[in-house]
Amino acid sequence: MTKADLVEKIAAKANLTKAAAERALNAFLASVEESLAQDDKLTLTGFGTFMVETRKERQGRNPRTGATLTIPACKMVKFRPGKMLKDALD
């Protein structure tokens, strides 16, 4: 599913125009991004939890040359699904 497909579904289910649905989706995504940028945890009850975790620095290997290299530490977003979402997938 693409963002355009999601906008169409939101517009149909919420009885909105596509433009209004896209503005709502963009506002939601911006709010999630702002929250996660501050290292906050975002919980949508029943749907799941988005959280920022730090991945440690680790050793890797260049597949072309076989040379060992250091992969720097970085932050990444993890998602843990909630009970209602898990149940909907079963």
What is the tens place of the pLDDT at every residue in 38-47?
A: 988 999 998 9
Question: What tens digit of pLDDT does each residue of 24-61 get?
Answer: 999 999 999 999 999 889 999 989 999 999 999 999 99
pTM reported for the whole predicted model = 0.76
Identify the pLDDT of residue 36.
93
Contacts of 60 (CB under 8 A, 6+ apart): 68, 69, 70, 71
Average pLDDT over residues 55-75: 95
Identify the pLDDT of residue 84.
93
Identify the pLDDT of residue 69.
95
Domains of the chain: 3-88 (4.10.520.10)
Neighbours of 36 (CB within 10 A): 16
| CA-based nearest residue to 49, from 73, 85, 1 | 85
Q: Distance (Å, rounded) from C-alpha 4 to C-alpha 85?
A: 22
Q: What is the mean pLDDT of the chain?
A: 94
Show the tokens assigned to 18: 């596509």
Identify the pLDDT of residue 25.
96
Identify the pLDDT of residue 39.
80
